[in-house]
Amino acid sequence: MNRVISYLRTLHRYWQQMGWTETTGLLLAILAAKAGQAANPQSIKKLERWVFFQKLSEHDKIIAIQFSLDECRVAYDNKPTVSCPVSLKLRIPAAVSSDSLVFDQIFFRGEYQHVLDWFASVNPTGTPTRILDIGANIGCAALFFHTKFPTAEIFCLEPEPGNYARLAANLALNPTAKIKSYQAAIWTSSCRLRCLHDFREGKEWAAHFVKLEAGDPIDSVAAVEVWQLTKLADFSGVDFLKMDVEGAEAILLRDAEFKRFLTEKAPMIAMEIHPEFISIQESVAILESMGYQTQIADEFVCGVKRNA
């Protein structure tokens, strides 16, 4: 009975945000799904919006400030630990954008919290003051790190144009955070790269980059190597390097200069590994050969320098 009451309350809040027409359409889509009817694209979008709204409503640290057909503004506050609220605008539903999926990974499932918990268990005094977020997407990870380390300087690198525009907008919503950004990809040299959306399901979070070849389309993005990136960030070193670069980690981890950077400048690292490009076993072996203690946390290979 309590579950029914809670469901109806959430549905009432949804109606307050979306209005009668959209809520009626949602109820028809729910009934059709219960009856086993195949959902059309519009029904899929309605159901995905509803599922995401339910998740927001169930989480005591997250508030849906505005909810519409194609965008949601949310506020997150990790109190009662350190009250440091952040706001984000997400493109929704998941049928048209990966924003809500990224938000789900970081704020609902706490994937980076698992990483930070392991860092704290290995190096309890290693509170980062300079964080480099390579592959920042729309800023979810950077803003989550800000809630944990409010005084840390964070520098975001994101190449995909739509993601970067959303990243800039989200950072503008949080002007007190010490977060800066730059639109470029990471590579082994300064060059131009071609953006591809043919990796996995093809959404923005799966954009990956390859070097331009003769005859490729003119559209391209800038790429920087890691030493140039630290100059852009004005970092002499990096306390924590987070990297989610959709396969480019294979090229970087096998590159001598990138490995030298890790050895000299990055005592803590968390990388999402994409087995289509490099195995977890090889990634772990490379980090351990450079003196890192390693751990696999969710989709990430994590490392802490043994002398950190």
* Partner residues linked to 10 by β-bridges: none
> Has residue 131 got a pLDDT over 60?
yes
Amino acid code (one letter) for 133: D
Mean pLDDT of 9-27: 94
Terminal-to-terminal C-alpha distance of the chain = 53
Locate all alpha helices (DSSP H) within 59-177, ordered by sequence.
99-103, 111-122, 140-148, 161-172
* CA-based nearest residue to 223, from 194, 266, 246: 194
3-state class of 268 per DSSP? strand
Return the CATH class of domain 110-305.
alpha beta
Domain residue ranges in the chain? 1-58, 110-305
What global pTM score does this model have?
0.91
Q: pLDDT digit string (tens) for 80-92? A: 666 688 999 999 9
Please, are residues 42 and 32 in contact by the beta-carbon 8 Å criterion? no
Q: How does pLDDT run across 45-95, given as a tens digit for each residue? A: 999 999 999 999 988 889 888 999 999 999 998 776 666 889 999 999 988
- Per-residue confidence (pLDDT) for residue 137, from 0 to 100: 95
**Whether residue 143 has pLDDT greater than 90:** yes
Least Cα distance to 250 among 223, 218, 227, 282 occurs for 282
**pLDDT tens by residue, 149-193:** 999 999 999 999 999 999 999 999 999 999 999 999 999 998 888
**C-alpha to C-alpha distances, 37 to 28, 34, 43, nearest whole angstrom:** 11, 8, 11
